[in-house]
Amino acid sequence: MKDTRIRQVLARRVWDSRGRPTVEAEVTLGDGALGRAIVPAGASTGTREALELRDGGSAFGGLDVQRALAHVQGEIAAALAGCDAADQAALDRCLIALDGTPDKTRLGANATLAVSLAAAHAAAASAGLPLYRWLGSTLGGGPATLLPMPQIQIFGGGAHAGRRVDIQDFMVVCPGATSFAQALEWTAEVYRCAGLGMRRRGPLHGVADEGGWWPDFDTNEQALQALVAAIEEAGFAPGAQVAIALDVAASEFGRDGRYRLGLEGRELDADGLIELLLRWIERYPIVSIEDPLAEDDLDGFARFTRAAGRRVQVVGDDLLVSQAARVQEAAAAGAANCVLLKPNQRGTLTETLDAWRAAQAAGYAGIVSARSGETEDTSIVHLAIGWGVGQLKVGAFARGERMAKWNEALRIEQRLGAAARFAGAAAFGHSR
């Protein structure tokens, strides 16, 4: 019998892709197995996300994480000593109880998630399994053979590009691809052609936070036109082979029912924004729209879902914040048909899985998602495959912290061999 009881919990400050401090935890078990995880950080965060504990003060713009690190090495390490890392649900219950608040406001979700995830890695290592298989055989209970449809950013925007354009993510998906590897090949060509197109338009200004080309456009719609042109230049049929996915991230420019499109110097109400998005759906091969309305507009979300939810996937990110109760509330209101799953929005693995289970019960699709501030940590790839979620959003097809994840999925696809199944277009929320 392997000894999967926790022997040691360590924390250290490491740095994310924006050069900001973040939390890494390392969990060692009685049998010597070791697991390690790093927590990412958002920029366009939902107000209902669990708390990311930062120190404040002057160092690193107030973003240091010494208090979170101290919680990991102090209270959390003491409480988890001797706990069985192979029982993730019990371990996460212990973290939740120790924190004692609804949104991890005492210990910090960055402290709790780092340990929750590192413990899963340690348990997997002890079992001699890659994390996705460990998750499949324990938490998720699935076969862990489903490769996700990648959602890959081509142009960045919103909070990730100095609000140069209002829409945050202009992404592609590949409904015509027959494997994960092929979807990456197709996206690589589209990303390359989009870069060439930007160079032809004028000076190329590099990339935004998640690696998408810097959005040097006069209107939001110009980005959509440039995206279709890139898909065509790469030799693919827009819509059938390569289609468009957007993250509007509307909470960033809308509140109290008013939406200000800064780039275009105009303000819309919720119905005006819905109309605009419906027009885009008519004109462009869009199959997925995330956060079309602000997080406080459940009603608007429901109206948009009624109008468009049969034709496109309607994804709730800031609206649902990876929380099972929020998913249930939205489902009851008929808002959205897909949940975005970001473990650091809740602070433990088990609560993130609960959100996915609530989504499945409601007939929603799911997308496991990275944050705009990322690292080399590839855990989310394993979550997507281990839980059979079917879609994965990681940012662009550039920058090491993004490519580390796409490449990890390629390794898993190869290792699975004939057992690998590609989720394809059936994974979309409106296909269900």
- The least CB distance from residue 58 to ligand 2PG, in Å, is 24
Distance of CA 51 to the CA centre of its chain: 17
Residues in touch with ligand 2PG (CB under 6 A): 42-45, 168-169, 210, 247, 249, 317, 369, 371-372
166 binds Mg ion (CB under 5 A): no
**What's the rounded Cα separation, in Å, for the pair 69 and 71?**
5
Q: Token digits for 412?
A: 């898993």
What does the buried/exposed string (b/e) look like for 189-204 if buried means 16 or more CB atoms within 10 Å of the residue's CB? bbbebbbebbeeeeee
Residue 214: closest CA among 231, 228, 197, 229: 197
- Based on CB atoms, which residue is closest to ligand 2PG, 160 or 382? 160
29/227 with CB nearer ligand 2PG: 227
- Identity of the residue, 300 or 373, whose beta carbon is nearer to ligand 2PG in the bound complex: 373
* Segments of 232-352 assigned E as strands: 243-247, 254-255, 258-261, 266-269, 286-290, 313-316, 338-341
Please list the active-site residues. 210, 342
Tell the smallest beta-carbon distance from residue 340 to ligand 2PG (Å).
6
42: partner contacted, choices ligand 2PG, Mg ion, none (Cβ within 5-8 A by kind):
ligand 2PG
Residue nearest to ligand 2PG (CB): 42
Q: Which is nearer to ligand 2PG, 99 or 317 (CB)?
A: 317
Report whether 349 contacts 136 (CB < 8 A): no
Instruction: Using CA atoms of 170, 175, 177, 182 in order, give the dihedral in degrees to the nearest 10.
Output: 20
317 in contact with Mg ion (CB under 5 A): yes
- Distance from C-alpha of 398 to C-alpha of 213, rounded to nearest angstrom: 9
Question: Smallest distance, Å, CB 71 to ligand 2PG?
Answer: 23
Give the total of residues touching Mg ion (CB under 5 A). 2
Give the position of tokens 């989504």.
359
Given the complex with ligand 2PG, which of 91 and 249 has the nearer CB atom? 249
CB of 290 vs ligand 2PG, minimal distance in Å: 6
* Closer residue to ligand 2PG in complex, CB, 45/337: 45
Site string for Mg ion, 200-219 (x = CB under 5 A): --------------------
Report, in Å, the least distance between residue 42 CB and ligand 2PG: 3
CB 409 within 8 A of CB 147: yes
CA end-to-end distance (rounded Å), the chain:
43
At which residue do the structure tokens 């924390």 appear? Answer: 11
43 binds, among Mg ion, ligand 2PG, none (CB under 5 to 8 A by kind): ligand 2PG
Pairing mode, strands 34-38 and 149-156: unpaired
Mask for 220-259, x = binds Mg ion (CB under 5 A):
---------------------------x------------
Specify whether the CB–CB gap between 32 and 3 falls below 8 A.
Answer: no
Smallest distance, ligand 2PG to C-beta of residue 150, A:
13
Residues that bind Mg ion (CB under 5 A): 247, 317
